Structure 1
Amino acid sequence: MARPPFPQTPNATPAGAARPGMPTTGAKKDNDRRTLVVGRGISVQGTIKDAERLVVEGMVESSMINATELLIADGGVFKGEVEVEDAELAGTIDGTLTVQGGLTIRSTGRLLGTAKCRRLKVEDGGQVSGQLEMITTPKPEAPAAAAPAAAAPAEKPQTP
């Protein structure tokens, strides 16, 4: 006889829904991404691979993570090195953070250590301690977008 699935708890958050204290961004639907959520009271140490979106509500310690999006909830802690496209901090990051796009530090967010980002937004109350560097080099274009610019120029008509 098969076991029935685990019952829904009254305060459970459906997959892809907004989590308390963690605003969502709308680039791609949350349920379309490979998402790892480290819940409150949970600690993870080691390597995290193939997660497009990392949501930290507990604690994560990792030597290096590459992801598209990093969200650290109020009360969440990330220690280590991470490189992402976009990051939003309502909790704490202690280590090295490289953000190719935008970094948002919410009013409860704390950034300790070293960070590099292209765009920065810090809400009133957000804290930055350590070294912060702005990335000023242009973002590399996708090969398909660069192809038309590389087309050969049209020949000039010859005049007799």
Structure 2
Amino acid sequence: MGRSPLPSGSSLPAGGGIPPMPGAAARGLPTQMQPKKDGPEQRTLVVGRGISVQGTVQDAERLVVEGTVESSMITAKELVVMPGGLFRGGVEVENAEIAGTVDGSLTARGSLTVRGSGRLLGKAACHRLKVEDGGQITGQLEMLAEGSAGSKTADSAAEPAKALEG
């Protein structure tokens, strides 16, 4: 009977924007993995915990995987795989941050960060690499030359990477 969807005295966030991802701070996510506040124009797709998605993702600038994503090829600006998240397939991004599992082919034209809980299985190529204690890379790893668009340079052949264990 005349109930408002918001408690009295409540208001939307300043500017009418979308509030931050619920529970990000409560889940104890590192600051660098919490949702970025780059403005309302950034197109972000979040695949939540317990959700599975198969197929193609188009026009997402940022893909955050808490559940499972299976795709033959995704192109985005940024990939974030949260603890417990699984990405299976191929992905080409500017930057990637892995705290869950990536199984397949990953090209990061900028930086690739594998967190302590992260596992990267398969083929990976990146310009800058950071692996935290406990992070694992199993498969082939190629370091891209400055300005490389993901193709192999004449001097760099992909070499198998050994699993790093903490």
TM-score, length of structure 2 as denominator length: 0.71
Alpha-carbon offset, residue 29 of structure 1: 1.1
- 2:40 is aligned with 1:35: no
- 2:112 is aligned with 1:103: yes
Q: CA 1:84–1:117 in 2, change beyond 3 Å: closer, same or farther? A: same
Match of 1:61 in 2: 70
Alpha-carbon offset, residue 75 of structure 1: 0.3
Unaligned 5+ segments in structure 1 are 8-12, 141-160
Root mean square deviation of aligned Cα: 3.0
Unaligned 5+ segments in structure 2 are 8-17, 150-166
Task: Read off the aligned partner of 2:58 and give its amino acid letter.
Answer: K
Q: CA 1:17–1:41 in 2, change beyond 3 Å: closer, same or farther? A: closer
Q: Structure 1 CA distance, aligned partners of 2:5 and 2:104?
A: 39
Alpha-carbon offset, residue 62 of structure 1: 0.3
Q: CA 1:138–1:41 in 2, change beyond 3 Å: closer, same or farther? A: same
Match of 2:20 in 1: 15
Q: Structure 2 CA distance, aligned partners of 1:3 and 1:97?
A: 49
Q: Structure 2 CA distance, aligned partners of 1:61 and 1:90?
A: 17
Counterpart of 1:46 (choices 43, 55, 62) is: 55
Q: Structure 2 CA distance, aligned partners of 1:59 and 1:6?
A: 33
Quote the sequence identity (%): 59
Which is further off, 65-74 or 129-138? 129-138
Counterpart of 1:85 (choices 94, 101, 105) is: 94
TM-score, length of structure 1 as denominator length: 0.73
Counterpart of 1:125 (choices 134, 141, 159) is: 134
| Cα offsets for 1:21-41 (capped at 9, x unmatched) | 363389871643100000000
Q: Is the 8 A contact 1:16 1:31 kept in 2?
A: no
Q: CA 1:115–1:106 in 2, change beyond 3 Å: closer, same or farther? A: same
